[in-house]
Chains A and B, each alone.
Chain A
Amino acid sequence: MSVATKNVPDASGRFGEFGRRFVPETLMHALDELGKEYERAKQDPEFRQRLELLLRTYVGRPSPLYFAERLTEHCGGAQIYLKREDLNHTGAHKINNTIGQGLLTLRMGKKRVIAETGAGQHGVATATACARFGLECVVYMGEEDIRRQRLNVFNMRTLGAEVRPVTSGSRTLKDATNEAMRDWMGSVESTHYILGSAVGPHPFPMIVRDFQSVIGSETREQCQERIGRLPDEVIACVGGGSNAAGMFYPFVEDDGVALTGVEAGGLGAEPGQHASPLSYGQPGILHGSYSYVLQDEDGQTQDVHSVSAGLDYPGVGPEHSYWKSTGRVQYTTSSDQDAIETFQTVARLEGILPAVESSHAIAHAMRAAKQRSSEDVIVVCLSGRGDKDVAEVARLTGQEI
């Protein structure tokens, strides 16, 4: 087993053996161009300054590192800190990436943006960035997710985006991703595809990770300030894996910091009952990338289930597969039930409604804290706020709003 390095991917998009580009030739030129433009942007002080200013004054960064005192007392054991990405503009970490990619779109001179969304947070964040930068915006969203996330659909439309319902397949995130890629193949000259997670063909997983790395970089600094050292463990939920990639990446070479990714364990380990490719899947190809996937033995994508629309995706970012293969990050699951109970617990103990996605991570943090001493520090990425999930939680817990 090799040691994980931050020096990935290579020029061909390889994170170890994972990543790369498995896409139609129609998209290859656009991916090359995007990669080149991104490299130029990274070297451009003006781009960096503009991004930094927007993150500070528009997104609201740095997001606080909050000591969850009552949650810590409740669990007994390690101190639990929450990295408050829920306090960002639009209420989730997704805005870090869309502001970055929005600026890239402007640099490339493209006027139209497409995106896919599951829970709707990425759709809202993309619609927001497009409104801010004056870009036309089309968001693909599965019909099932539109039903589950009506509030976010309304918000996207209010922000000026067109929400296109996707009726193919399981009518969820993976189908919205197919549709967005297909749109991009026909519109690539005028359109940038703002991918919402650290998935897809190179250079997307790298770009999304880099724009999200602000989460982990701030956490490092804030831990030094608050506790005078790095934390003992960092935990984040993993669907496609962008908040986790951004949280983990700056810690990858800090051997003393345990990193734990929490997938959607759903109802159980049977195929179709969960959305945990790293825990139950195997390496394969999906949406242009080689990574862990949930497929049947014939190579067809398996159905997935999660209480969280943001996590029910049958693939995962290739860097997570790389981290799994090197043993640098441990991956585990929290169930639907865990997530719902944690949502309620955190609400009552801390006065915070966490996104159901984030509740998966906090649920595991609560278990992990019990196994550790009170000297230990666990930081959990609270990737988004739970307002969007209240109707679904109410429905599942038999309450009326």
Chain B
Amino acid sequence: MTTAISSTFERLRSEGRLAFMPFVTAGDPDLTATVRLIRELAGKNVDLIEVGFPYSDPIADGPVIQASYTRALEHKLTVRQIFDAIAGLPKDGTPPLVAMVSFAIIFRHGPETFVQEAKEAGFAGFIVPDLPGDEATEFFGLTQKHGLDLVQLVAPTTPRERVKQVLASCSGFVYCIAVAGITGVREQVAENLLSQLEWLRQETDLPLAVGFGISRPEHVDPLRERADGVIVGSGIVRHFQRVADGEADVDAVLEQIGAFAGEMVAAAHGSEE
């Protein structure tokens, strides 16, 4: 199945480039800012954007993203509002959008309804961090039926024998978690990551994208021969804390994120974009 996500990776692969995929939290500080941010990132030629759906109890996310979720939910943000805001984005010039959303929210809405409405809004796929491969078969079928992708996560702790089962419910790309969560062990884990990427490459033809702990252009180079993309989440979302603290306005933050995205795109694409 060719999807918006798979064709993006095919194009990048033929050009010998890595994908740069930023994560944004929907509704922090409000949806108008989120839409502007997505346009700003699109203008910097990012290859795909993950849109986080704020959830009250995000066990899969770190404190930076949780704080952004809390800020968004203070204004009673709803899923419907997120879909409406995304639907208002131009179809041309906006990279594929992937909804990063807890299964708690999908389940409450009804998986079929959620997938349909996400598709109508313009989403190309889903990352459901609390729906591991074992539980994802049914939801994967649903996304496939609607021509959308379901991205699965592979952790540093995922044993090789488990990966086949995880990948059976995965399309679009594989989200490879670079670190198990804490700081200070990155050097060592990075080595594990590189060897994991090597054996993952033998297990699947799907593109491999690395996230968690990637925050600077120089993090990209070691991954160039082994991965197909990099994801930055907290490194972008954290800027909005300054808006919440009254230290910066949205314009200034958008400009700063835009400049950062430009550097990351240049690093990922290996060019001076």
List chain A positions with a Cβ less than 8 A from chain B: 12, 20-30, 32, 168-169, 174-175, 178, 181-182, 185-189, 284-288, 290, 293, 295, 297-301
Contacts and interface: CB of A to CB of B under 8 A. Distances in A.
B104 A24 contact: no
A168 B66 contact: yes
B107 A26 contact: no
Given A28-B162, A299-B104, A182 B59 contact: yes
A295 B104 CA distance: 9
Interface stretch (B25-33, B131-139, B194-202): B131-139
A286 B152 contact: no
Contacts of B263: none
A285 B157 contact: no
Given A24-B132, A168-B63, 18 more contacts: A20-B135, A24-B130, A24-B153, A26-B155, A26-B177, A27-B157, A28-B132, A28-B157, A29-B157, A29-B162, A30-B157, A169-B57, A182-B62, A284-B107, A285-B130, A299-B55, A299-B108, A299-B109
Contacts of A20: 135
B131 A22 contact: yes
Nearest to A180: B59
Contact of A298 (B79, B135, B182): B79
A25 B109 CA distance: 23
Contacts of B67: 168
For chain B, give the interface size range: 35 or more
Contacts of A28: 132, 134, 155, 157-158, 162
B103 interface: yes
B34 interface: no
17 contacts: A12-B134, A22-B131, A24-B59, A25-B153, A26-B156, A29-B155, A29-B159, A169-B56, A182-B59, A182-B181, A187-B181, A189-B180, A295-B104, A295-B108, A299-B55, A299-B109, A300-B73
Contacts of B79: 298-299
Given A26-B155, A28-B158, A298 B78 contact: yes
B154 interface: yes
Nearest to B152: A25
Contacts of A297: 108
Give 4 closest A-B pairs by Cβ, nearest first.
A186-B181, A299-B108, A299-B105, A186-B182
Contacts of A32: 162
A32 B180 CA distance: 17
B166 interface: yes
Interface of B: 55-60, 62-63, 66-67, 70, 73, 78-79, 102-109, 129-135, 152-159, 162, 166, 177, 179-182
A21 B135 contact: yes
B94 to A, nearest CB: 25
Contacts of A298: 78-79, 105, 108-109
Contacts of A21: 132, 134-135
B107 A25 contact: no
Contact of B155 (A22, A25, A175, A301): A25
Nearest to A290: B107
B154 A285 contact: no
B57 A174 contact: yes
A188 B180 contact: yes
Contacts of B62: 182
A284 B166 contact: no
B19 to A, nearest CB: 21
B157 A26 contact: yes
B158 A25 contact: yes
A387 to B, nearest CB: 31
B66 to A, nearest CB: 6
A168 B78 CA distance: 20
A24 B155 contact: yes
Contacts of B134: 12, 21, 28
Nearest to B73: A300
Nearest to A26: B155
Contacts of B179: 186
A287 B56 CA distance: 11
A295 B56 CA distance: 10
Contact of B59 (A23, A188, A300): A23
A297 B162 CA distance: 35
A299 B107 contact: yes
A369 B112 CA distance: 47
A178 B132 contact: no
A268 to B, nearest CB: 22
B157 A284 contact: no
Contacts of B181: 26, 182, 185-187
A182 B65 CA distance: 12
A284 B57 contact: no
Nearest to A12: B134
Nearest to A22: B130
Contacts of B130: 22-24, 285, 288
Contacts of A287: 57, 59
Chain A CB within 10 A, most for which of B57, B104, B133, B152: B57
A305 B158 CA distance: 38
A285 B182 contact: no
